[in-house]
Amino acid sequence: MRLPVRRAAEVCPVEVAVSILGGTWKLTLVKHLTAGPLRFGQLGRRVPAANRKTLTRALRELEEDGVVHRDVHAEVPPRVEYSLTALGGTLAPIVEAMDSWGADYAARLAADPLQGRGSSRSA
Amino acid sequence: MRLPVRRAAEVCPVEVAVSILGGTWKLTLVKHLTAGPLRFGQLGRRVPAANRKTLTRALRELEEDGVVHRDVHAEVPPRVEYSLTALGGTLAPIVEAMDSWGADYAARLAADPLQGRGSSRSA
DNA sequence: CGGAATCCCTCCCGATACTG
DNA sequence: CAGTATCGGGAGGGATTCCG
């Protein structure tokens, strides 16, 4: 992962998407932002498993890739709002498809523990 | 990435999909397999950037996650065919959506170099 | 031909603490 | 509140070599 986008494009367009969206939490962040702009802290509360540093980096990379817009309000206390760009908005179908696929997969796991350890490593 | 699927499910279903499909080359492999079964060597030729070890591991993990089926023919020389499972087949819309999104993104990059270095690290 | 084994190295992601 | 600085572990991924 994290191939340079241009290299990824030479191999296969799907890898472009993966290289941009494949990082942990990134698609989750995009998903939450499809409902509207959110502040940094609000995003953090919606993804408690990600710490601030990780969150910041993910958002920065999404911003660099043109998916997310960062709006800094010069106030005290600071307020930073994140929203999807037009390009980010075009991800909605993908997010929805992957969300429902993932939900199905999780449901299947719960109902049918036989394939339980797939892609699970440590804890 | 590579969160245990069960943990990912607790956070967000999209992360389940990402943890299964987010690995490098994985979606590319699925994409090529949507056209029909392929042998190991054929897959390797379609993804020259991936070496055999990486390819093998990616396929094994996809197999463990129930996306890919591995068919070993007891012959000399050996012949191993990979195909999508029924579950893997349900990925077709996602693959297609991400492929076209990635293609659009790459085209935009080529036409509009201003956002050129997005998500690119070294080479 | 398709893999297993080995070595190695990047960088992803997390925990913690400090700043404006 | 939002972010950076620092530290660190550990997995992901590559190159190479040997095997059946």
Distance A121 CA to D9 C1' (A): 15
* pTM of the full structure: 0.90
| Contacts of residue B119, Cβ cutoff 8 Å, sequence gap at least 6 | A2, A4, A5, A19, A20, A61, A64, A65
The pLDDT score that the predictor gives to residue A115 is: 52
Question: For the segment B105-116, what is each residue's pLDDT rounded down to a tens digit?
Answer: 999 988 876 554
Mean pLDDT, residues A59-73 taken together: 96
Side chain identity, residue A7? R
A78 preceded by a cis bond (ω within 30 of 0)? no
Q: How many whole angstroms separate alpha carbon A67 and alpha carbon A83?
A: 9
Q: Is the CB of B49 under 7 A from strand D?
A: yes
DSSP secondary structure code for residue A35 in this structure: T
Q: For residue B10, what pLDDT band results from cuts at 50, 70 and 90?
A: confident
Question: For the segment A69-99, what is each residue's pLDDT rounded down to a tens digit?
Answer: 999 999 989 999 999 999 999 999 999 999 9
Helix (H, G, I), strand (E, B) or coil at A39: strand
Mean pLDDT, residues A52-79 taken together: 96
For chain A, report the end-to-end CA distance as a whole number of angstroms. 21
In this structure, the number of other CB atoms found within 10 A of the CB of residue A64 comes to 15
Domains and CATH numbers, chain A: 3-110 (1.10.10.10)
Question: For the segment A15-35, what is each residue's pLDDT rounded down to a tens digit?
Answer: 999 999 999 999 999 999 999
Mean pLDDT, residues A32-52 taken together: 96
The pLDDT score that the predictor gives to residue A120 is: 40
Residue nearest to nucleotide D15 (CA to C1'): B51
Contacts of A5 in chain B (CB under 8 A): 105-106, 109, 118-120
DSSP chain B: ----HHHHHHH-HHHHHHHHH-STTHHHHHHHHTTS-EEHHHHHHH-TTS-HHHHHHHHHHHHHTTSEEEEEE--SS-EEEEEE-HHHHTTHHHHHHHHHHHHHHHHHHHH-GGGTTTT----
Torsion sign over Cα A88, A94, A100, A106? negative
Residue contact A4–B103, C-beta within 8 A: no
The pLDDT score that the predictor gives to residue A6 is: 83
Q: Which two tokens stand for residue B49?
A: 């950037």
In this structure, the number of other CB atoms found within 10 A of the CB of residue B38 comes to 18
Mean pLDDT, residues B14-40 taken together: 97
Nearest CA in chain B to A11: B47
Residue contact A115–B65, C-beta within 8 A: yes
Question: For the segment B73-106, what is each residue's pLDDT rounded down to a tens digit?
Answer: 999 899 999 999 999 999 999 999 999 999 999 9
Question: For the segment A106-119, what is each residue's pLDDT rounded down to a tens digit?
Answer: 999 888 755 544 44
B contact test, residue of A25, A43, A64, A98 with most B CBs within 10 A:
A98
Residue contact A16–B103, C-beta within 8 A: yes
Angle of CA points A52, A53, A55, to nearest 5°: 65
